[in-house]
Amino acid sequence: MNIFRLTGDLSHLAAIIILLMKIWKTRSCAGISGKSQILFAIVFTTRYLDLLTSFISLYNTCMKVIYIGCAYATVYLIYMKFRATYDGNHDSFRVEFLVVPVGGLAVLINHDFSLLEILWTFSIYLESVAILPQLFMISKTGEAETITTHYLFCLGLYRALYLFNWIWRFYFEGFFDMIAIVAGVVQTILYCDFFYLYVTKVLKGKKLSLPA
């Protein structure tokens, strides 16, 4: 494992922990898109079905279990425990416009036309756009809490670090996965505008505001 993958995984884990702590400590899921969290739960579920069929390493298994468990814990907190604080009116992105095309693309373009491979490919495609409901919600409300922006920054940093991971693996291992790389580039691009605002506003102590 190279440093970019390790730091990417840790950044991803940090994002998940930040989000869970935000919800639990404030006893509120205000400003959090439940739809994005459902999409991430679907991503982890469809990607890590190989937990039932193969063992790679203890680290790999633990991280997969943590991602899946935390994803469903987040969905539970939003839609069950703190449902009264969930802003469903602003979380109005039509996720079927993401899931249906992504599902069709996964069936058409994948490495191996097997069920597990199609589901893995589906998870890769879906992850690249799963944050859109959250970004749409922020743009609709016009602002975001600082802790929410930290969550988004860590999530975007994870994906950016994985791009460097793929570059490293290509040069030192000869590994190249076009599907994962293209999806990762798309996902990173979606965060670019947010990264700029995060650096120019949030890190300077200003509140992040976006045009509605």
pLDDT of residue 1: 81
Please state, in angstroms and rounded to a whole number, the distance separating the CA atoms of residues 164 and 37.
26
Please state, in angstroms and rounded to a whole number, the distance separating the CA atoms of residues 197 and 156.
13
- The whole-angstrom distance between residue 81's C-alpha and the CA centroid of its chain comes to 22
In order along its 212 residues, the chain shows pLDDT tens digits of 899 999 999 999 999 999 999 999 999 999 899 999 999 999 999 999 999 888 889 999 999 999 999 999 999 999 999 999 999 999 999 999 999 999 999 999 999 889 999 999 999 999 999 999 998 888 877 667 777 888 988 998 998 899 899 999 999 998 889 999 899 888 888 887 677 666 665 555 555 555 54
Length of the chain: 212
Reported pTM = 0.90
Structural domain boundaries in the chain:
3-200
The first and second tokens of residue 95, run together, are 């996720």
